[in-house]
Structure 1
Amino acid sequence: MVVESRALEADMNDAGAVLVSTLTLVDLAGSERVAKTGAEGIRMKEGTAINKSLLTLGNVINKLSEGAQAQGAHIPYRDSKLTRILQPSLGGNAKTSVICAITPALCHAEESHSTLRFACRAKRVVNNAVVNEVLSDAAVLKRQAHEIEELKNRLSASGMTAEVEEQI
């Protein structure tokens, strides 16, 4: 589920500025072995597709946790729909939290261990979140006019206004 929020800035200097944020919630299926689940037919096909998406997610997390994105290496986001959907949350401008659930049951020890290894790799992924601000043309002009006014005031305070005004 993806929730997008847009809020107008209250600051009068930024009339027309909109802050944009997105919340993405994903509940991933577990990665079980077909032999363990006893799935057949359609269930087996679904399980195979889920496992393929989870494998791709694991590959993306591996690359990101190794710093491949910073080195300009290819990150295989397009190898699955899941990783395409999660791309903004995984490797970019986002604050991301990953919650991994495991079971203490001994019969699922291998899957639990795999989940914990995934969690260790996921926590090494570094994102750089910044405020997403969309400005209207009017807001850009207003900001620039405000900046020009501030610069003029600074020039005035420094005593260089007469020379600069001639050049302007």
Structure 2
Amino acid sequence: MNFSPFRWFSRSEVSSEGKAALTPDPDAPVPVAKPEQVPASSLGYVVFTQPPMSPYAYASHCYEKSADSVLAQELKRQGPEAFMLVAADEKSVLVQTQEYLCKLDREGIQEISLHPVLPAKGSGMVMLFFEIAQKGQIESHDFLMCAVYSEELQEWCEKKGREVAALLNVPFQVSCPSHDC
């Protein structure tokens, strides 16, 4: 699993069950976009394109240099602006980029969280995480990183995170921001 130092700061409050106390946004809109479906497959997916307000965004976790042929074809069909698909069926969650693939057990994913990293000495960023139950602990597995922080970028990432949460039928949370210093 992946440990991100940015998540350490947002995980300072832990409940008695060992889960982090994240701050939900009660006024956040419910996503209206339905996950797309891979033709002739049980896979639903959410496509990620380059956010217009960000100089770069990428799949941020270490992936295997391989591809799921059906997802790679679907990603290619989405056009050059699409850099990642998050897909799921009943058992698995797949993160497919142009060249890399990450496969996770769907059952362990407890929620999707967004972590804003506000600018201090740097430019800040926004990250999305799978929160995964592993041996009685919740581990953060980052899957998207977008820079440079702005409220508009945070809103874009929140919309995409909510779409992934809807795909997986898990809660979505926005964690307390940290600073990049």
Tell me the TM-score normalized by structure 2.
Answer: 0.22
The answer to which structure has the higher strand fraction is 2
The answer to which structure has the higher helix fraction is 1
Tell me the TM-score normalized by structure 1.
Answer: 0.23
Larger Rg: 1
